[in-house]
Structure 1
Amino acid sequence: MTSAQDALIHLMIVAASSDSAMSEKELKRITALIDRLPVFESFDRSRLEEVANACADLLNGPDGLDRVVGEAVAALPPKLQDTAYALAVEVTAVDLHLEQEELRFLEMLRDHLSLDRLTTAAIEVAARARHRRLPA
């Protein structure tokens, strides 16, 4: 059984790698989120590599993506579903450009979570606002 913290990390990893490549910015954002968010306060940081490898093993197995998402969502209590979606959006939004694969992953995740469209839209708008830069 996957812990809720492991599930959140798995979803961030899948979000970051959904466009076939995890950028340095995405990796740094995942690490920063784990280091600063209250939901990860009790997470043993030394387990991060182990959790990431477990995610990769699941992804490379039969029905990889569906299995990772399904197991992660099943491990989350209802009150962390919006957190899971917010973390996935945060990781994909870090480079201010979402590829089609990232958009499809977020859509897939929305379909698995018990969140209304207004909540997911608010999370998406907030992430865009946090990542904006001043015009050049």
Structure 2
Amino acid sequence: MPSHSECDAFPLAPLASISEFFPMLTRETLTPQEALVCTMVLVAAADGGITDREIGTMAGLVQFLPVFQGFTAQELASASDATVNLLRDENGLAHASRLIRNALPNRLRETAYALACEVIAASSEAQQPSLRMLEMVAHELHLDPLVITAIERCTRARHQRV
């Protein structure tokens, strides 16, 4: 651990508030892309942590899917960190759910659920807390049960092994 004098070599500017690091936390709205990332982080963090595999899956989805066109790796990191910090608040889950629901137009709600399914499928074994969070996401987004089943089945089919 560096001594105090070593730290003085790199003085930090005073930080006015947490919002300087995570402006997403103080806004009442998210962009649709931030809401999609928030949804992925919710299901990934539901079992108490986010694995490297889940992070890699989220990064890959952001890098290649058209819905994330123009969304940078830095924005992914900021949105992910802000979501994790939001979840630490007493009512963080309810606040995150409201932000996601309000940010996503109907046409992107199925996309959000599909992305959440992809993140869970990236784990070698889905844990019960993640599956419960996935149910909560489907409920909050007001998705049709047939759509939910179709998305889950497609995700399962894509991740089958020989």
Q: Per the shorter chain, which TM-score range? A: over 0.9
- 2:157 matched to 1:129? yes
> Which residue in 1 is equivalent to 2:26?
none
**CA distance in 2: counterparts of 1:131 and 1:47, whole angstroms:** 27
Cα shift readout 1:66-104 (whole Å, capped 9, x = no counterpart): 211221111101100000000001101112421110111
Greater displacement, 45-54 / 21-30: 45-54
Q: Which has the larger radius of gyration?
A: 2
Kept in 1, the 8 Å contact 2:59–2:76? The answer is no
> Which residue in 2 is equivalent to 1:17?
45
Kept in 2, the 8 Å contact 1:96–1:128? The answer is no
- Please report the TM-score for the alignment, with normalisation by the length of structure 2: 0.79
> Which residue in 1 is equivalent to 2:129?
101
- Please report the TM-score for the alignment, with normalisation by the length of structure 1: 0.93
How many residues were matched structurally?
A: 134
Shift of 1:10: 0.7
Q: Judging by fraction of residues, say which structure has more helix.
A: 1
Supply the AA of the counterpart residue of 1:57.
N
Kept in 2, the 8 Å contact 1:96–1:132? The answer is no
SS at match of 1:13: helix
- For residues 1-136 of structure 1, the aligned pairs below 5 Å read 1-134=29-162
Kept in 2, the 8 Å contact 1:19–1:101? The answer is yes
Question: Gaps (5+ residues) in structure 2?
Answer: 1-28
Kept in 2, the 8 Å contact 1:96–1:131? The answer is no
Question: Gaps (5+ residues) in structure 1?
Answer: none
Supply the AA of the counterpart residue of 1:103.
L
**CA distance in 1: counterparts of 2:58 and 2:73, whole angstroms:** 12
